[in-house]
């Protein structure tokens, strides 16, 4: 019996060939959005070998998660799935995020933010607008410094490669405290303090889980160099909002580069900050658009389906989200 991939989110005529090409005939594809009848949807979910989803809270009807009985994997197209209710599914069914799917553009975004901070580009741009020509003001060189990467998966690795090209040393944290990739130092989460103390740049690209919620607070920020550059590409909630704002106020040479905010439209329905970060000269903000480049959709689909093929082949999928890592 041939395997079946059920896609829970709508796909247009452009996206469907990408899925078919990436599957290479290893499974039939059923698009749930094409099925209006409750019985047809129920049959598709019961027979699904694998699901490909974006946000099952919106794509599945309230009673439908319980119908998914035989799936070998629920694969999400998103790199971050903390805002999706995952605890409604049978915990025996593996769930995978699309970790690292958008790594390259996100790494470029991190590099752009770090260079803008180190070279004081926005500060001096505004000074020029005021008629000030601060040619004698020093900016910073990144070569020879330490880039700390919190979360050494696909995004962390892509970021490391760019930072290494600038001559930075790479210190990284991942769950197992080891990596086959070339780094100058790597540790486990328990070693975070060691990395924070030496980092000239800290790039946060770890998933939001119960363990990483509020991981960077006042104590952790206090361990960092007073002129360090913090970049958050992941989730705002990994850093305590009040603590970061207070630290930025107290340390004007410390930079906060924020792409991931605490309240965002996609996850929360609106954009809001409880502290006026954008009034501070040592903050660079962007609207969580680090992965928003042409071709992102195709890349994400192909990488998600590549992980699905691993499951169909009996291999262990990448970027599994364990039951204890599910936020909802």
Q: Any idea what the CATH number is for the domain that residue 87 is in? A: 3.40.50.720
Q: Write the DSSP string, 49-90.
A: SEEEES-HHHHS-TTSGGG--S-SEEEESSS--TTS--TTS-
Does 152 share its domain with 107?
Answer: yes
- Mean pLDDT in residue range 220-235: 98
pLDDT surpassing 90 at residue 18: no
Does 242 share its domain with 115?
Answer: yes
pLDDT category at 74 given cuts 50, 70, 90 is very high
Question: Tens digits of per-residue pLDDT, 121-154?
Answer: 999 999 999 999 999 999 999 999 999 999 999 9
Does 36 share its domain with 160?
Answer: no
- Whether the full predicted model's pTM is greater than 0.85, yes or no, is yes
For position 286, what pLDDT does the model report? 98
pLDDT surpassing 90 at residue 57: yes
Residue 7 to residues 24, 29, 83, 87, 303, Cα–Cα distance (Å): 16, 7, 19, 20, 15
How many domains would you assign to the chain?
A: 2
Does 30 share its domain with 138?
Answer: no
pLDDT surpassing 80 at residue 120: yes
pLDDT surpassing 80 at residue 226: yes
pLDDT surpassing 90 at residue 205: yes
Q: How many C-alpha atoms does 98 have within 13 Å on its Cβ side?
A: 25
Does 224 share its domain with 142?
Answer: yes
Domain assignment present for residue 290? The answer is: no
* Residue numbers of the domain that contains 23: 4-100+295-325
State the chain's maximal CA–CA distance in angstroms: 73
For position 184, what pLDDT does the model report? 98
Q: In percent, how much of the chain has pLDDT > 90?
A: 93
- Residues 121 and 115: their CA atoms lie apart, in Å, by 8
- Mean pLDDT in residue range 157-176: 97
Does 91 share its domain with 108?
Answer: no
For position 2, what pLDDT does the model report? 87
Domain assignment present for residue 265? The answer is: yes
For position 26, what pLDDT does the model report? 92
As separate numbers, helices (DSSP H) first and strands (DSSP E) second, the chain gives 11, 12
Does 171 share its domain with 311?
Answer: no
Domain assignment present for residue 218? The answer is: yes
Does 280 share its domain with 314?
Answer: no
Does 156 share its domain with 279?
Answer: yes
Q: Are strands 229-232 and 255-258 parallel, antiparallel or unpaired?
A: parallel
For position 85, what pLDDT does the model report? 96
Does 56 share its domain with 152?
Answer: no
- Mean pLDDT in residue range 246-264: 98
For position 13, what pLDDT does the model report? 84
Does 180 share its domain with 214?
Answer: yes
Does 151 share its domain with 179?
Answer: yes
For position 14, what pLDDT does the model report? 82
């Amino acid at each position: 019996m041939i395997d079946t991939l059920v896609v829970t989110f709508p796909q247009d005529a452009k996206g469907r060939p990408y899925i078919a090409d990436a599957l290479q005939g290893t499974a039939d594809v059923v698009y749930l959005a094409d099925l209006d009848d409750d019985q047809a949807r129920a049959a598709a979910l019961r027979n699904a070998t694998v699901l490909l989803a974006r946000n099952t809270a919106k794509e599945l009807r309230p009673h439908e998660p319980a119908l998914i009985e035989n799936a070998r994997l629920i694969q999400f197209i998103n790199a971050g799935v903390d805002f999706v209710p995952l605890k409604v599914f049978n915990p025996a069914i593996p769930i995978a995020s699309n970790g690292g799917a958008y790594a390259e553009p996100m790494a470029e975004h991190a590099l752009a933010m770090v260079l803008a901070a180190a070279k004081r580009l926005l500060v001096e741009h505004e000074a020029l607008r005021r008629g000030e020509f601060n040619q004698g003001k020093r900016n910073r060189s990144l070569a020879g410094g330490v880039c700390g990467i919190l979360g050494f998966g696909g995004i962390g690795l892509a970021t490391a490669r760019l930072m290494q090209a600038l001559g930075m040393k790479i210190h990284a944290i991942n769950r197992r405290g080891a990596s086959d990739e070339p780094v100058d130092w790597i540790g486990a989460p328990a070693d975070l303090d060691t990395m924070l103390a030496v980092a000239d740049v800290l790039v946060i690209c770890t998933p939001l889980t119960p363990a990483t919620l509020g991981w960077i607070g006042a104590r952790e920020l206090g361990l960092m160099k007073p002129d360090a550059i913090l970049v958050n590409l992941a989730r705002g909630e990994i850093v305590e909002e009040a603590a970061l704002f207070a630290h930025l106020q107290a340390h004007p040479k410390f930079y906060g580069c924020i792409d991931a905010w605490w309240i965002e439209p996609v996850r929360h329905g609106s954009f809001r900050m409880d502290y006026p970060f954008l009034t501070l000269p040592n903050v660079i903000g962007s609207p969580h658009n680090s992965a928003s480049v042409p071709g992102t959709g195709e890349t994400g689909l192909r990488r998600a389906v590549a992980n699905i093929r691993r499951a169909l082949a009996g291999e262990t999928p990448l970027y599994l989200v364990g039951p204890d890592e599910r936020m909802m």
